[in-house]
Structure 1
Amino acid sequence: MPDRAEGMGLQALTSEYRRIMEIVAGSDGPVMAKDVAVGLGRETTPGKIEPVRGQLRKLSDRGWLVRTASGRYRPC
């Protein structure tokens, strides 16, 4: 996944990451990994939520999302 740069659109992301971005952007506020996992149609077991948390962290590390102090995510 590329680092986010000025003018870069979601088309630079894979379909899975684009879907995550759509879920986060469509929420009323910062979301938890569990919320995104539910939006992706996954179970809410730790084994299904942890990979989503990793994907959210990766999006945050590369400038696509902002991670709040409480561990929730929101669009930049």
Structure 2
Amino acid sequence: MSEQIAGERAAVAPASAEVGGRAVLLVPHRDDSVDEAALPGDYRRILAIVRAADGAVQVRAVGEELGLQVEVRGKLEPLRAKLVKLADRCWLHKRGDGKFTARL
């Protein structure tokens, strides 16, 4: 039974790959067979913040919720990249005005 549990945990753990000699986490595409548990922890937290918002959110609002120094542009750009990656993988929707909403 412990082998089965270990196999199930490995199936939902974020996949990693090696790029340029560095291990990087992969954000899977959203579909029926992949649930939110497959995302790395920081991506799950970002997704939860966007879902909890009353509407579309700006990167700055997500950064404030995460406790980042939002007045420093360099602190928001990595966050913006994560939001865009979630949108590219169909976890979020990026609107034309640059704001993000949760996909249902």
Normalization by structure 2: what TM-score? 0.70
Tell me the residue number matched to 1:32: 58
Distance 2:33 2:53 in 1: 23
The percent of aligned pairs where both chains have the same amino acid is 38
Q: How does 1:4-43 map to 2 (within 5 A)?
A: 4-43=30-69
State the shift of 1:8 in Å: 2.7
**1:3-43 Cα distance to aligned partner (Å, 9 max, x none):** 11125321010110000000000000010111111111111
Moved over 6 A (4+): none
Matching residue of 2:8? none
Name the counterpart of 1:50: 77
Structure 2 residue aligned with 1:72: 99
CA distance in 2, matches of 1:31, 1:12: 23
User: What SS is found at the alignment partner of 2:76?
Assistant: helix
Question: Any stretches of 5+ residues in structure 2 without a counterpart?
Answer: 1-26
Q: Higher strand proportion, which one?
A: 2
Aligned residue-pair number: 76
C-alpha RMSD of matched pairs (Å): 0.9
CA distance in 1, matches of 2:47, 2:90: 12
